Homo-oligomer: A and B are copies of this chain.
Amino acid sequence: MKKHHLRIPGPTEVPEQVLRAMQAPMINHRGEEFTSLFKKVSEEIKEVFQTKNDVLVFPSAGTGAMEAAIANLFSPGDLIVSFSCGVFGDRFADIAEAFGARVERIKVEWGRPVTYEIVRERISKDTKKEIKGVLFTHNETSTGVLNDIKSLREAVGDHPALVIVDAISSLGAVELNTDEWQIDVVVAGSQKALMIPPGLGLVSVSERAWKAVEDSKMPKYYWNFKNAKKSLEKGETPYTPAVSLVYALEESLKQIFDEGLENIIMRHKLLAKALREGLKNLGFRLFAQDSWASPTVTAVDISDFQGKINFSKALKNRFNITVAGGQEKLKGKIIRIGHVGYVDELDIINVLSAIEMILADEELFGKGVKAAEKVFNEGVEV
């Protein structure tokens, strides 16, 4: 008998209370019960986005919310600059390209972040203000790298390009001050720090972005922001909403506010730090440096163990801990340990202890756990 531990960077574990909330009886999505529920969560979610602007909720994967942002803000032929440091940055560019934008891809070596300088250099060259939008990834899930969105936004400065941030794996776990930092569109998904099952895509839209929506000529129906906003004013959606997931969101928001967004952000920092110190103490190399390491997912270099230990398999078979492997060129070279959403200190201890037992070297027993305990006991100074 082994309990279930989902340590991938999403979908994440869903708290029991949220699972229970989803068991509420199905209701009429055009009735008063749903409209008041939908108005409530659509209002409350703004706090998590740190915005006063509208947040639109779609029945979709996070990728759908990315597509929605592209389709509503731009027109075919628009120049969009994508700054990518991994799989999900590339995906955003792919979507823009699929919709006929002229996409310029600026790629950063995997394992490293996009920097102020890289963005500033490209922006400052655009004297004719041709760039209509820039695409950033807040937390690059494929490499465990956190981009400093505040600084990247500053690099865009007063250039009129819309600033669009994929915050799917960061929103609600990492500081992201949408309004204060002047982010036009933030894209998120339900299955990460929001601690609910996959199926909701969320998009915040700034006033500046709403102006761009007026001019956008990309084809859209499902993702149409204007229709979504018009419906939202009545507490409705243009087509059938994912009712049970909206119930789930109501409950998860309650839990988020109970703990407090700032506390949640500190918790994620602490969990990441403890895991990293533990892994380092066991001799592992981490794929991303501490200074830009993700608070929600840690990529661990396992290339030294190839042909010797299959960590993903061993963690699953022996301890029922599910971690993620590397994607594309990182396949087989890293494992990714998710610590986002419904994750606590003992979950980190679990992973480290399980890895110690898999390493099966008596010298290492307790060594990673020891380092993590030290971090936890020193508390939140991270």
- A: which residues have CB within 8 A of B? 1-5, 16, 23, 255, 259, 264, 267, 319-320, 342-347, 349-350, 353-354, 356-357, 360, 362, 365-371, 373-374, 376-377
Smallest CB gap from A267: residue in B: B1
- Determine whether the beta carbon of A1 is less than 8 Å from that of B264: yes
Residues of B within 8 A of A356 (CB): 369, 373
A131 CB → nearest B CB, Å: 41
Query: What are 30 A-B pairs with beta-carbon distances under 8 A?
Result: A1-B255, A1-B259, A1-B264, A1-B343, A1-B344, A2-B346, A3-B342, A3-B346, A4-B16, A5-B346, A319-B345, A349-B349, A349-B353, A349-B369, A350-B350, A353-B353, A353-B369, A353-B373, A356-B369, A357-B376, A357-B377, A360-B377, A362-B374, A365-B369, A365-B370, A365-B373, A365-B377, A366-B368, A366-B369, A367-B370
- Contact of B3 with A344 in the complex, beta carbons under 8 Å: yes
A357 vs B349: C-alpha distance when bound (angstroms): 11
Closest A-B pairs by Cβ, 9 of them = A366-B370, A366-B366, A365-B370, A365-B373, A349-B353, A366-B369, A346-B350, A369-B369, A2-B344
Q: Considering the complex, give the chain B residue whose CB is closest to the CB of A351.
A: B346
Also in contact, A373 and B366, with CB within 8 A (given A5-B346, A350-B346)? yes
- Which residues of B are found within 8 Å of A362, using beta-carbon distances? 374
Copies of this chain in the oligomer: 2
**Closest B-chain residue to A263, C-beta based?**
B1
> Complex formed: what's the CA distance from A16 to B264 in Å?
26
Give every chain B residue within 8 A of A347 (Cβ-Cβ). Answer: 3
Contact B346 A319 (CB under 8 A): yes
Contacts of A259 in B (CB 8 A): 1
Assembled-state Cα–Cα distance A238/B374 (Å): 59
A329 to B319, CA, bound (A): 39
Given A5-B346, A319-B346, A366-B370, 13 additional A-B pairs, CB 8 A: A1-B342, A2-B346, A23-B23, A319-B344, A346-B353, A356-B373, A357-B377, A365-B370, A365-B373, A365-B374, A366-B368, A369-B369, A369-B370
